[in-house]
Chain A
């Protein structure tokens, strides 16, 4: 198993659908993250979980709902998305909470298209 696994790799959904992105890390890390990567924009931090507790919500719209049932799994629940939400969604993990000095380990991402 690779370090951080994301499913699905690609997702096409309508604006009224409900779907979930899944992330699993096999590195024994304590912190997990969701990032959004849009074309020609810096990576945007969405959510941070440290020891299963959410410590960061970077002004993300409520149509994105994270869930972290344990330190190895992270979900992003999606509902009533907008076309501008189409992007690559990246999951990452790090050994130490807070991120200072701890490299992030990323998954392959989920390419989301909202129609």
Chain B
């Protein structure tokens, strides 16, 4: 079975601090994709990044960076120099074929609050 665990339910940091959101996943498949989505107060989930299981290179996009480690089944997300606009709920998700049924499994999300 697939499972995504985001152990941090809520995080608050002061603006300009760095913050890391943890994501641990479980799957029996060797081919899979990992995602991060952002859900601002407006409600819609916004796609941030996708990584496949064969590419463990870390990725940086502006103030965002992602650390994918298969050895620990983790796909952590770091925001550098946080800003108030980063306040949102962040979801990690896993997509993997399971008995031919390709589903996207979401974690429970981490609510990030950036304090001005």
Bound Cα distance A100, B45 (Å): 18
Cβ contact within 8 Å between A103 and B35: yes
In the complex, whether A66 has a CB less than 8 A from a CB of chain B is no
How many residue pairs link A and B with beta carbons under 8 A? The number is 53
Chain A residue nearest in CB terms to B104: A99
In the complex, whether B52 has a CB less than 8 A from a CB of chain A is yes
Q: Mark B85-115, 1 if CB is under 8 A from A, else 0.
A: 0000001000111000111111111000000
Bound Cα distance A90, B37 (Å): 14
**A42 and B106 in contact, given A90-B45, A103-B47 (Cβ under 8 angstroms):** yes
Nearest CB of A to B68, in Å: 15
In the complex, whether A106 has a CB less than 8 A from a CB of chain B is yes
Bound Cα distance A104, B108 (Å): 17
Chain B residue nearest in CB terms to A103: B47
Could you tell me the dominant secondary structure of chain A's interface residues? Answer: loop
Bound Cα distance A85, B60 (Å): 39
Nearest CB of B to A30, in Å: 14
Chain A residue nearest in CB terms to B31: A100
In the complex, whether A74 has a CB less than 8 A from a CB of chain B is no
Of the four ranges (under 10, 10 to 19, 20 to 34, 35 or more), the interface on chain B belongs to: 20 to 34
Of the four ranges (under 10, 10 to 19, 20 to 34, 35 or more), the interface on chain A belongs to: 20 to 34
Chain A stretch 51-99: residues in CB contact (< 8 A) with chain B = 56, 88, 90, 92, 98-99
Cβ contact within 8 Å between B33 and A100: yes
Nearest CB of A to B112, in Å: 16
Chain B residue nearest in CB terms to A96: B102
Chain A residue nearest in CB terms to B9: A40
Contact among B44, B52, B105, B107 for A106, CB-based, below 8 A: B44
Cβ contact within 8 Å between B107 and A42: yes
14 A-B residue pairs with CB within 8 Å: A42-B4, A42-B106, A43-B91, A43-B106, A92-B45, A98-B102, A99-B103, A100-B33, A100-B96, A101-B95, A103-B35, A106-B37, A106-B46, A108-B42
B residues contacting A by CB (< 8 A) are 4, 33, 35, 37, 42-47, 50, 52, 91, 95-97, 101-109
